[in-house]
Amino acid sequence: MIKPAKTNLIFLLNIIIFLSVAKVIKSIKNIFKKVLAIEKRLCIFALGFTKREPRVKNSILFIDFKNTSNE
């Protein structure tokens, strides 16, 4: 039979491992977000979109891009 103290220790170790893996996944996700944001900015700059109008709707930030090229 497993002792309760050993069970608690295993449970705590599982939580620590889970949180560590979650942090690693979150940091990888943030790296991809930054890379995609940089690519998006470069694409928008290349298309002539330079002015941005931020607006908040339901606590979500939207950025409206206006085309400022004279075409």
17 CB contacts (<8 Å, ≥6 apart)? none
31-63 tens-digit pLDDT = 877 777 666 665 555 555 555 554 545 545 555
Q: Is the pLDDT reported for residue 71 higher than 70?
A: no
Determine the residue type at 13: L
**Predicted pLDDT at 29:** 83
- The CA distances from residue 62 to 11, 31, 35, in Å, are 42, 21, 19
pTM across the whole model: 0.41
